[in-house]
Structure 1
């Protein structure tokens, strides 16, 4: 009887351990050179980079996939364009402030955050233009660079929140109306390059 109980307990611990880590985001960004960036991806954004400043290219390793990201500043806005390994567009994000979100949507997402966390602080807000199948990537790129308020956009928030005892960092995704879509625990930035 004791062995059966121990076996069941071990199984449950493994099951819940795997389940709880499935929502974690183990993401690390590494800066790369322009020649290491996928050529297909560069073809999509080359003309947009002509008047851009502070252009940086990154390779991002996630717990599930590898992607590439171009970050730059253009027309006083910070852009981040993400591509998969093959160079296909995944999404475009623009760094925004709370005032850039419509009041009704912002109140809705604040209500969700206050119910989910005991305390929270919004660290970063990005307006996300996801690439949708059946639509040419050029349309998504055009919409993002015109900064259009479309019903298909998402808001991605980086939030430091306290659920139980400690504060942790989360990536929370909401739709254009402020309805909750997903949440993932994220690791703090990689500081391996810092020597002590």
Structure 2
């Protein structure tokens, strides 16, 4: 695995722990020699993540739609900031540039990105692993719901199992790296 796409909030969240998590994630990604691919923002957890990776000597690629850049939320201090036309184009480019996906706490945009990347693998469009960091139980209700989709017959167990869920960033990065290395070519 050479690069990882991280989805997370453009807001900082209500607790300092979320910012600490984003900082730790960016630092660990850089220390592992991985390129961070993310949404290109400078605000919230996105900015903390990118700044931490850069401070640790990492390479950071941001992908941002022009409309968000126009609102002055783009991070101009990145290794590479790529401007695209739409949010759909942003997600596609992040997917192309990444070997795995990791979702930290965030809101509806994070959910959209998580589910799109995960559904791409279910549809066979790629074999890249997806991980959900269930930090301090933030995603407990979502994980319970995803398990219910299997119980109720709306999702196959192997597709549910394709979303790796962890509570600590280091071990989840280890799982994603192992899964990326063992993934068959699409």
TM-score range, shorter chain: under 0.3
TM-score by length of 1: 0.25
Q: Over alpha carbons, which structure has the higher Rg? A: 1
TM-score by length of 2: 0.26
Q: Which has the higher helix share?
A: 2
The structure with higher relative contact order (CA 8 Å, sep 6+) is 2
Q: Which has the higher strand share?
A: 1
